[in-house]
Structure 1
Amino acid sequence: MKQFAILILFSAFSFVAVPQKPGADWPVFRGTHNLTGYTASALPRSPALLWSLSTGEGSKSSPVISEGIIYFGNLKGSVYAVSPAGKVIWKKETGSPLEAPPVIHGDNLYIGAGDGVMRAFDKKSGRLIWSYSSDNQIVGSANIWISAKRSGLIFGSYDYYLHCVDLQTGKLIWKLETDNYVNGTPAVMNNRIVFGGCDGMVRIADPLTGRERNKFETGGYIAASPAISGEKAWFGDYDGNLYCLDMINGKMIWEVPAGKGSGAIMAIPAEGRNILVVGNEDKYLYCYKSGSGEPVWKFRTNGRITGSAVITPSGVLFGSMDGNIYILELQDGKKQWSFNAGAPVSSSPAVTEGRFYFLAEDGRLLAFGTK
């Protein structure tokens, strides 16, 4: 049975989610810091593979983009900066597997590793600027919170804590204890941090102090991250249940219970244009009305879907562990296009105007566009 715990009621701040602008950077692996995976960039109608870059090592990460340069890590512990033409600009070794996608802010790239260390690099040269050690592995991307009073890099660790460190120095600002691993990426919007964990809780915290405000208990592991917009948060759990939460009062707005044969939800829901799209380990991509949870369509692949989709004006873009990358129609989920990547795809895409990028699990970076 679901339980709701309200710790502190807090005032609402008006906010309208703004999609990633066409041609803009993709500094966090979901495009924007509220993790909705919604972009105004249109996809090519018939994309072509422009190039692929092999790293020689597997990857479970996702790429990000800043000033046209693509950044990502692999399981060997290498961090790459790659030009739009597919040429390596720099490569740095961390000595520890990198499952977490990087995040870019200003001149710096931040990435967490399996050794529990968060590292900051100069994005242009790859020079290590600082490192901060948690007490267990980091598998989710960090996120950025900026305010007039204080700014921070916020990330979870398997040490049961959500950490906030100074962007410039890596010094600890605060940390918030949970009851199990913090696997995903915290969503950040205005005065809220929203994150889930393997203790079955979604927590809402104050980014300035790290103080917990609300929490919502599902009873199942929350391996992925929430997407947040306005006053709502959407997330799934390891049991295959999908939720929409009111962030003001901590109450559930709607729930789609796991159906027979449903798998775990390891992906972050994509939200935009009043729809919600999320992949499942039962091999389906599901589409719902984001306000009500009413089903709209579903699309079956031949493999588990663990990466997160992106919603664009021209379609829904995602990869599957069947080795294919898909674009579906927004309205009915019919397939527009697919590409066999030759290896499982657990990456979330990075999208800029006229181009998109995926990482395959064999470590290749794939660039698509119009030839």
Structure 2
Amino acid sequence: MKLKKLLEYKLKGERNVSARKPLIIGDHLIIVFTFHKKGGIASRVVCLDKNTFDAVWEYDYLFVINNIQQSPSNNILVCCMDGKLVELDATNGETLNMYELDMYRCGTASLIFDNKLLVGGVQKTTTINCFDFNSSEVKWSFDSQGHSYKPVVDSGKAYICTQHTIRCFDLNTGMVLWEASEESTYMFNPIVYGDLVMVGGHGLVNIYHNESGKLLNQIKTEMAEAIRSIIADGDCIFFGDEAGEFYSFKINREKNGLDEGHVECELLWKFSTKGSIQSFPVISGDQVLFVNDDNKMVCLNKISGDQLCTFNTKGEASTSGIIMEEEIIYTAVGKGFVYKLEQAN
């Protein structure tokens, strides 16, 4: 088996280019690039026809764009580090709305849930804000006292990590429902897995009960490297670290009535690469795929951890990622490259 390149795109004319995870809306593939520009950092949103990779439109922004997602009106919502939310028309890239997050510097926004999203402050901005699209304004704020990471929202709750602490908020009111600390490490980007919340740190993954915040178990890896991106599939979780190690653990969940129950974590396999792994992996059937900073896309058997195939990219993944549509694979990487791939025998 191999990964066959169908199309390739290269952003030209810029230097020190990095990419964000792409987004697909209809026949459009949308990518964010950031790059050095006149002593600062600028960003460009590029919309490609996903069938031909012809450029449809571009949108330039004179600062960092953190991430993009589909807006409630099926357009493109751009989260900018200077506290702006920009809504672009998906068909032509024209600016439809610009919202204020009331933050000097902000990180990556959560996905939208119930017409709300959460974003935490970075670079000495210590605010966590919830933006409500119904009123087009910030619904509530919280002073986190530190640098926050990417939030996740689920079933009316919001989870966000700030330095050593994870907090669970009521998404509608901003009330803190619980918080937990891990003094040995910063904690990064949480995920919700049934009634569990999992979050990576340096060489560990903490597993909490989503209602009480009780720590149910802790996975420790061999090296104290940052674990930023975890995914769950069935009764297994998968994650990589900045040392280039990629892991699969089985999560055995036992419940005792209304009690939080018990969680057992069993290492199934580990796969070593030469490049830091910061981006979220994806699951496709019996395979797990990820991109790393060794300029590679790696495809493994998710049961055994055996390598099935690789593809050499022309840039580092950093915090970009993979998006799949049926059997077609898309990714964007450093130096401005975008790829459309398929698996072939």
Name the counterpart of 1:61. 20
Contact 1:65–1:71, Cα closer than 8 Å, also in 2 = yes
Match of 2:93 among 117, 123, 126: 126
**What secondary structure is seen at the aligned counterpart in 1 of 2:225?**
coil
Name the counterpart of 2:256. none
Shift in CA distance, 52/168, structure 1 to aligned 2, threshold 3 Å = farther
Contact 2:239–2:248, Cα closer than 8 Å, also in 1 = yes
Spell out the pairing of 1:335-350 with structure 2 (5 A cutoff): 335-346=307-318, 347-350=320-323
2:270 aligned with 1:311:
no
Higher strand share: 2
Using CA pairs under 8 Å that are at least 6 residues apart, name the structure with larger relative contact order, 1 or 2. Answer: 1
Spell out the pairing of 1:1-371 with structure 2 (5 A cutoff): 46-56=2-12, 57=14, 58-75=17-34, 76-84=42-50, 85-98=52-65, 100-105=66-71, 106-128=73-95, 129-146=97-114, 151-158=115-122, 159-167=125-133, 170-184=136-150, 186-198=151-163, 200-219=164-183, 220-223=185-188, 225-237=189-201, 239-259=202-222, 261-265=223-227, 267-291=228-252, 292-346=264-318, 347-369=320-342
- Matched letter for residue 152 of structure 1: K
**What secondary structure is seen at the aligned counterpart in 1 of 2:133?**
coil
Give the greater-gyration-radius structure (CA): 2
Shift in CA distance, 217/133, structure 1 to aligned 2, threshold 3 Å = same
TM-superposition CA deviations, 1:88-108 (whole Å, max 9, x none)? 21111111122x221113322
What is the TM-score when the length of structure 2 is the normalising length? 0.86
How far is the alpha carbon of 1:370 from its aligned partner?
Answer: 5.4
Aligned length: 316
Q: CA RMSD in A?
A: 1.8
CA distance in 2, matches of 1:138, 1:359: 23
Shift in CA distance, 314/123, structure 1 to aligned 2, threshold 3 Å = same
TM-superposition CA deviations, 1:151-209 (whole Å, max 9, x none)? 2132222122222223366422122221211122x2121121112122x1111111111
Shift in CA distance, 358/169, structure 1 to aligned 2, threshold 3 Å = farther
Contact 1:103–1:141, Cα closer than 8 Å, also in 2 = no
Stretches (4+) displaced over 6 A: none
What is the TM-score when the length of structure 1 is the normalising length? 0.80
Structure 2 unaligned segments of length 5 or more: list them: 35-41, 253-263
Contact 2:131–2:138, Cα closer than 8 Å, also in 1 = yes
Aligned residues with identical type, % of pairs: 19
Structure 1 unaligned segments of length 5 or more: list them: 1-44
